[in-house]
Amino acid sequence: MESGGKLDRHRVDSFGIQFSNIEGLYGSKSFVRGGFIEIDVVHGYTSVPEAYTGLAFRSTGGNSPAKTVGSQHTVRRFHVGGAMQKPSLVVLAAGMGSRYGGVKQIDPVGVGDEAIIDFSVYDAITVGFDHVIFVIRREIEDDVREFFAGTFESKIRVSYVFQDLDDIPEGYQVPADRAKPWGTAHAMLAARHVVDSPYAVINADDFYGRPALSTMARYLSAIDPDSTDYAMVGYRLDRTLSPHGTVSRGIVKTDNDGWLVSIEEHTKLRPQGDEVLSLNDDSSVRARFSGTEATSMNLFGFTPRAMEQFSEEFADFLSVSGDDTKAEFYIPYAMNRLKEQNRARMTVLRSDSEWFGVTYRDDRPAVVSRLRDLVEDGIYPPSLWG
C-alpha cells in the first residue's frame, strides 16, 4: 500500500481485480471503511507472485455467499491493509512407517543430511510461517528432538505434541486390540491446545514444494481467524504415485468455482499403463482414473475453528466406528461431513508445485537424487541450516 491510502495499479492487477477509479482507489468496488480499503477480489488471488505478498487481505465475512462473474471466477470481499497474520504449520509425523521400515520422518536424504521435513520447514520460513508444530509419537520424541537440534529452532517457533491412542473424548473407550492411533484428523487434533492462528497441515515425509506452501501461506494470512472457509492444495494424481507399491490418496471433486464437492479416499492406488487403478483389499479393481484428477496430498489450510468442529466430528465417528480396530478418522472424512452439514466449505487451490515422497524404502534413491538436483539448480543451499 502506498502512502496516502492509494494502491499501486500493477500490484492490484496482479490479484485479478476488475478496475474502476473510485476516489483514487482501484477495484471493482473499493472504498475506505474503518481504516481499511475494501475490495472485491477474484477468487484465485492466491496465485499472486511472492513479490506482492506485502498486501494484507482479511476476509470480511466468514461464509458469506460468493458471486460468480465468469465461468471460472468467484468474487469475494476482502479488507486490504495492516500487517498480515502469520500462519502456523502443523506437521503430521506420528505415522508408524511400517511400509518404509524405519522412522522415515527423520531419515537423512538431503545433500547436507537433511530429512524431507527440513525442506518443508525451510520453505515455510521462507514464505512466512512463524510457528511449526510437530505431531509425533512419544517413543520417537528423543530421536526427533536430537535430529533437529541446532537446525531451525532459532528461526521459527517450534512445538512438539503427541498423538496418543487414548486421546479421545470423554465417554468413549479404546478397543483392547487396537494398536494404531485414529488417523490424520485425530493427529491434527493433537495440536488443538497449541494452535493459535490459521494453520496448514502437512505430512512429514512428503515434499510439497515452495510454490504450494507459498500459495497456502497467502490464503491463511488473508483469512478471518473465525472463518470456516478452509483450503487445500490439489496435485495432479499421476504425479503423486510410487513405482514401488500402492499409495493412499484422496481424489478431489470441485464445482465450477473451485469449491470442494468431495474427497474420496482411495487406499490402494497404482499406475497401470495410461491409467491409475484403485484396488480393493482383495486386489480387484474398485475404480479407474486418467491420472489428471486433482488429489489431496494432505496439504490443508484451516482456522482454529476447525479444531472445535473436528472434535465434534471425532465424537460422532467414534459413536459409529469406534469398535472397528481398523477404522481411521481422516481429514477428508471430517471435511466431507462438515461440508454436507453446511458447517464449512473448502476451496481447492491448484498448484504446479512438484511433489514427491518416501512411502517405501525403494523410493529413497529417487528422492535423494531429486533433492540433489534442486540444490544444484540453486533452489536450496547445500546445507539448509549451515
Could you give phi then psi for residue 183, rounded to 5 degrees?
110, 180
Do residues 35 and 97 share a domain?
Answer: no
pLDDT in tens, the chain (386 residues): 332 333 333 333 333 333 232 222 223 333 222 323 333 333 333 333 333 333 333 333 333 333 333 333 333 333 344 445 799 999 998 864 444 445 556 788 988 889 999 999 999 999 999 999 999 989 888 888 888 888 998 999 999 999 999 999 999 999 999 988 899 999 999 999 999 899 999 999 899 999 999 999 999 998 988 899 999 999 999 888 888 889 888 899 999 999 999 888 898 999 999 999 999 999 999 999 999 999 988 899 999 999 999 999 999 999 999 999 889 999 989 998 999 999 999 999 987 788 888 777 888 899 999 999 999 999 999 999 98
Do residues 174 and 59 share a domain?
Answer: no
Do residues 69 and 95 share a domain?
Answer: no
- Return d(Cα 207, Cα 188) in angstroms, integer: 19
Question: How many domains, the chain?
Answer: 2
Are the beta carbons of 33 and 76 closer than 8 angstroms?
Answer: no
Do residues 71 and 94 share a domain?
Answer: no
Domain ranges, residue 17: 3-80
Q: pTM, whole model, 2 decimals?
A: 0.73
Q: What is the pLDDT of residue 50?
A: 34
Handedness of CA 158, 212, 249, 97 (dihedral sign): negative
Q: What is the pLDDT of residue 103?
A: 58
Q: Mapping DSSP to helix (H, G, I), strand (E, B) and coil, where does residue 356 land?
A: strand
Structural domain includes residue 382? no
Do residues 173 and 75 share a domain?
Answer: no
Report the chain's C-alpha Rg in angstroms. 21
18, 46, 80 — which closes off a domain? 80
Q: What is the pLDDT of residue 6?
A: 33
HSE-CB of 343 using CA atoms within 13 angstroms: 14
We report the CATH number of the domain holding residue 362 as: 3.90.550.10
54, 80, 106 — which closes off a domain? 80
Length of the chain: 386
Q: What is the pLDDT of residue 95?
A: 64
- Return d(Cα 375, Cα 233) in angstroms, integer: 24
Q: What is the pLDDT of residue 37?
A: 33
First to last CA, the chain: 35
